[in-house]
Amino acid sequence: MAALPAMAAAAIGLVLLPAGTAEAEDGQWSVLPATSTIGKRPCFYLAAAPGQRLTDAVTLTNRSDRPRTFRLYAADAYNTARDGGFAVRGPDEPRRAAAAWTRLDRERVTVPARGTVGVGFTLTVPDRAEPGDHPGAVVALEEPPEAPAATGIGVRQAVAARMYLRVTGPTAPALAVRDVTVHRRGGAAEISYTLHNTGNVTLRPRAGLTASGALGRRLLDRGITGLPAELLPGQEVRLATRWDGPPDAEWAQVTVHARADGTTAQGRAAYAAHPPLAAVLAAVALVWSALGAASGRMARMSDRSPESTAPHRAGFACFVGRPNAGKSTLTNALVGTKVAITSNRPQTTRHTVRGIVHRPDAQLVLVDTPGLHKPRTLLGERLNDVVRTTWAEVDVIGFCLPADQKLGPGDKFIAKELAGIKKTPKIAIITKTDLVESKQVGEQLIAVHQLAEELGFEWAEIVPVSAVGDSQVQLLADLIAPLLPESPPLYPEGDLTDEPEMVMVAELIREAALEGVRDELPHSIAVVVEEMIPRENRPADRPLLDIHANVYIERPSQKGIIIGPKGSRLKEVGMKSRKHIEALLGTPVFLDLHVKVAKDWQRDPKQLRKLGF
């Protein structure tokens, strides 16, 4: 899990002091995760599958000259309604998720003067726990409170070590912007809106604000500050931002755009400022005069073709086909950068990967799917389900058929299923044309055309391409764009994929691991990134990101193949994948890889769930 900011202060009937650093605010005492073999930890970063049990420990340090007694408890976290800050529940409030699953070895502990005490705890994830993030904290509440002699009133101080628990399984980042309102206040306007994390993972939101006038004139375009550093799963926060100097006479549409971890959302509201009647009449007279003066010019130009005002289009197009048909390579070529891993091994892609192509006239969201095949394992069945679910929801289907292979039973099986999808336009894409002569390409084009005729449907287009040779790739984009629905862009300019960074890092490691392995091994390899944490105490100009990942195989006999003699093979995997990871994240990384056995995970529902399938 990516590193998150240090513990912030919160108060619910008590004072919570920060625990993200070595000391509390008053320097008297602190509570932190026990030091691990990796080093000091600012927070607990834990991951577990449903039914799994974890053990850890918290360290209490007393820097004062007298003993202190604390009440220890586990608490669930939430966002404060005021500003979305991270906060934890009080000791007597209900405990539902991470707090309910945590059992401390001791609930009260006395720490001697200038001493340190460690307390262990066990966290047991229920069998039916919902996948995703379950944030919380281990809180140390000083007890009894000190009372100043003059007033007899004391303040109960507490420090909490944050706990970020991720229950493994399918994660679904999702964000909504709701209830946008605009209120004029003197010479400014206040724009209020609600951010709602509707997914199951913690989000780090960013937002922007735009306003467009009645004739499309851009009135406002800027980022929004003051957002919560993180928005916890299921949480919603009401926020506001100021618009200085809005027009005095204008109708406008105000839009709040939000994005976080590959998911986007927006909400809109109307703004209307009514000018004095005299100003309205003057504006009408000005427009009427301009129209009269332009009427002669318009008559003289009537024989010219008007400038194109084609509407913007945006939508989803998926690439389907047999394994190793070139779908991922084609996706990368259209996007212009690597968003999907590639390999000469079939069934490399194991989940849908979205690549985003930005054009002046359209935005193409390309969905690369696993290859449809005859399944031999539970994993294979689930991958096929992913493909069928995807092509039922997209606007355009691209059927990839390699030019260097004649149509086979697998191609005909997929084409027959596509024939049953009546309303969605289908494009036949002949891939890998750089591997064959033009005559063979022509024969494949004819065969593909006849295939559709036999099944009683028509291709919207048939186009040969070479993603490696960059032949007719842009033509393919030109053919897809008109088939998409009229729509504004679905993703912000500059986004190339909505894949979470941890998933992309895991895929880059798996891509490197696939190179040079034996034929029976590729399908047995899975990779899970356990955590991504910025290295502490690094200079600002020399950051380092620690990535800890596990490479899973199915049998102990496969371990030696992945590791290699004296670890040489695993070292090579780390070196190759690290280069791509650093290019993706834009920062140096330290990659810690471990090889683990998950016995027959492709056939085991529990193991599949643990590995995210």
Query: Known binding site for GTP: residues?
Result: 321-328, 368-372, 431-434
Query: How far apart, in Å, are the Cα atoms of 314 and each of 60, 354, 480, 489, 546?
Result: 55, 14, 10, 6, 38
Q: Is the peptide bond before 144 cis (omega within 30 degrees of 0)?
A: yes
> Of 210, 468, 179, 164, which is closest to residue 344 (Cα–Cα)?
468
Q: Which residues lie closer than 8 Å to 244 by C-beta, 6 or more apart?
A: 187, 188
How distant is the alpha carbon of residue 322 from its chain centre? 27
Dig out the tokens for 215 from the structure: 């004739």
Contact 244, 190 (CB under 8 A): no
Give the type of residue at 316: F
The angle that helices 501-514 and 568-585 make with each other, rounded to 10 degrees, is: 140
469-478 — which CB contacts under 8 Å span 24+ positions?
A: 469/433, 469/434, 470/333, 471/433, 471/434, 473/330, 473/333, 473/334, 476/330, 476/334, 476/398, 476/427, 476/429, 477/334, 477/357, 477/359, 477/364
Point out which residues pair with 271 in neighbouring strands: 252
CB-side exposure of 549: number of CA atoms within 13 Å? 31
Other C-beta atoms closer than 10 Å to the C-beta of 607 total 20
CA gap 514, 342 in Å, rounded = 10
Other C-beta atoms closer than 10 Å to the C-beta of 64 total 13
36-41 — which CB contacts under 8 Å span 24+ positions?
A: 38/546, 38/548, 39/536, 40/536
What is the SS3 assignment for 114? coil
CA gap 137, 162 in Å, rounded = 4
Dig out the tokens for 44 from the structure: 């607990």
Point out which residues pair with 437 in neighbouring strands: none
* Pairing label, strands 86-88, 157-167: unpaired
How distant is the alpha carbon of residue 495 from its chain centre? 11
- The annotation places the binding site at 321-328, 368-372, 431-434
CA gap 479, 476 in Å, rounded = 5
Residues in the chain: 613
CA gap 271, 521 in Å, rounded = 60
Q: Which residues lie closer than 8 Å to 211 by C-beta, 6 or more apart?
A: 218, 219, 220, 221, 243, 246, 252, 253, 254, 255, 271
Phi-psi region of 299 (alpha: psi -120 to 50; beta: other; left: phi over 0): alpha
Dig out the tokens for 171 from the structure: 């994660």
What is the SS3 assignment for 1? coil
DSSP 159-226: EEEEEEEEE-S-----EEEEEEEEEEETTEEEEEEEEEE-SSS-B--EEEEEEEETTS-EEEEEEE--
Contact 145, 82 (CB under 8 A): no
Q: Which residues lie closer than 8 Å to 134 by C-beta, 6 or more apart?
A: 76, 97, 98, 165, 166, 167, 233
